[in-house]
């Protein structure tokens, strides 16, 4: 809303307002009340009003130190004044006569001063400043845009740093399985070229197994890194449906029986039969469970134990817990492990990028749940996450 008045060549003198609102419905009602009151005053006094949504202008909110919405900022002529709360119209009724008196003084000063001759007379504001009133709103908009551009620049730099780190880890982590697979294949070629070694089927079988295993490791690393690159800074597309956790958990556990046997792990499972359905994306939750199981198997020593349990914690939440008897996680690192590309010192000799838990947190948060860990160094870790019950 904008009105103007003035005569001759004198620059216009007007009140300049910024009205900050939020997305709540009652904010729109407040805007209408304030606009209606100001429109009644438009025939008596010129003013300019800009309505700004606070989430779109964080820099201006900080600049004016606003603590409530709606807030009406009279920023020109100075001094600046902020009216906030639900009774802005009442406050306007109180302050408007005083602002009119200030403007009257400015208009008298503007018409009596010779623009060619500087003056030392004190006045509430300078004519040179008044002539710039029309540009003030645009300047503040530009300042806000610069603030947003700086935020975008920092986000892009962080993505570049992340990708540089990923490339370095990719080159490092692929080297070991690639070397092992190459040795296995070269040995097989050597056996093939020497007839005297033809009667070594057990050795050949072991070499084939070793080569396949190392290729699987490389495939898993590449899959993880591609998935992390897609998901680290993107929003998940969550397709929630009623989901039976018992069926999903038992289906996943069937695939891990061989790995449990290889390390001679003792596995305990406590999943109640009357567990209610959850409202979740099956594939994303599968990804969380698989990631936690992979970590548990990776860090649990031979003949250790892993425990998977489910608990109907409240009427709205189901809690899944996965405990191991691995080396545990220091207290100071138990929150950091859920951050992007964080790795513990003990992880340096193991495959992986430290991205899995970050993705797990993002998935669970997208389901309005929580994920956390309880751990005691040298005794093991227990990861927990919650999911909403289907109603």
Chain centroid offset of residue 37 CA? 41
How far is the C-alpha of 357 from the C-alpha of 333, rounded, in Å?
Answer: 13
Q: Hey, where are the domains in the chain?
A: 15-131, 168-231, 241-388
Question: 240-262: b or e for each residue (b if 16 or more CB lie within 10 Å)?
Answer: beebebeebbeeebeebeeebee
Question: Tokens at residue 147, please?
Answer: 């603030």
**pLDDT by 10-residue block (mean), the chain, 391 residues:** 44 74 75 83 76 79 80 82 86 87 77 51 39 50 74 79 66 71 83 67 80 78 65 65 93 88 93 92 88 90 94 87 91 77 48 64 89 90 93 76
pLDDT at 378: 86
pLDDT at 14: 76
| CB 293, CB 259: distance < 8 Å | no
| Torsion-angle region of 73 (φ positive above 0: left; ψ -120 to 50: alpha; else: beta) | beta
pLDDT at 332: 78
Question: CB neighbours of 174 closer than 8 A, spacing ≥ 6?
Answer: 218, 221, 222
pLDDT at 352: 43
CB-based burial of residue 382 (10 Å sphere; 0-12 exposed, 13-18 middle, 19+ buried)?
A: middle
List the alpha helices (DSSP H) in 194-244: 201-231
Fold of 241-388: Heat Shock Protein 90 (3.30.565)
pLDDT at 61: 79
How far is the C-alpha of 26 from the C-alpha of 20, rounded, in Å?
Answer: 13
CATH class of the domain whose range is 15-131 = alpha beta
Record the pTM: 0.47
pLDDT at 65: 80
């Amino acid at each position: 809303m904008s009105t103007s008045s003035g005569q001759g060549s004198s620059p216009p003198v007007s009140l300049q307002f910024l009205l900050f609102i939020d997305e709540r419905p009652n904010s729109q009602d407040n805007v209408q009340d304030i606009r209606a009151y100001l429109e009644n005053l438009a025939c008596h006094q010129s003013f300019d009003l800009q309505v700004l949504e606070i989430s779109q202008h964080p820099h201006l909110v900080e600049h004016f130190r606003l603590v409530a919405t709606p807030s009406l900022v009279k920023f020109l002529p100075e001094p600046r004044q902020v009216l906030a709360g639900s009774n802005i119209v009442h406050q306007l009724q109180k302050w408007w006569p005083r602002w009119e008196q200030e403007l009257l003084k400015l208009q008298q000063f503007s018409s009596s001063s010779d623009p060619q001759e500087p003056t030392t007379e004190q006045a509430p504001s300078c004519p040179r400043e008044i002539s710039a009133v029309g540009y003030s709103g645009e300047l503040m908009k530009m300042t806000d845009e610069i603030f947003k551009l700086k935020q975008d620049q920092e986000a892009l730099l962080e993505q570049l740093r992340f990708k540089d780190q990923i490339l370095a880890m990719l080159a490092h982590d692929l080297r070991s399985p690639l070397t092992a697979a190459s040795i296995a294949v070269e040995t097989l070629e050597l056996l093939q070229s020497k007839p005297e070694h033809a009667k070594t089927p057990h050795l050949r079988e072991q070499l084939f197994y070793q080569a396949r295993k190392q290729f699987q490791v490389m495939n898993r690393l590449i899959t993880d890194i591609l998935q992390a690159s897609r998901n680290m800074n993107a929003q998940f597309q969550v397709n929630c449906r009623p989901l039976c956790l018992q069926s999903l958990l038992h289906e996943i556990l069937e695939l891990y029986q061989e790995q449990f046997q290889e390390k001679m792990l003792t596995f305990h499972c406590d999943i109640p039969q009357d567990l209610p359905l959850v409202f979740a994306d099956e594939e994303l939750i599968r990804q969380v469970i698989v990631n936690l199981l992979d970590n548990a198997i990776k860090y649990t020593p031979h003949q250790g134990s892993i425990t998977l349990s489910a608990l109907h914690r409240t009427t709205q939440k189901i809690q899944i817990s996965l405990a191991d008897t691995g080396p545990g996680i220091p207290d100071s690192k138990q929150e950091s492990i859920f951050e992007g590309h964080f790795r513990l010192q003990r992880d340096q000799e193991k495959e992986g990028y430290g991205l899995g838990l970050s993705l797990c947190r993002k998935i669970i948060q997208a389901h309005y749940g929580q994920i956390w860990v309880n751990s005691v160094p040298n005794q093991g870790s227990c990861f927990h996450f919650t999911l909403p019950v289907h109603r």
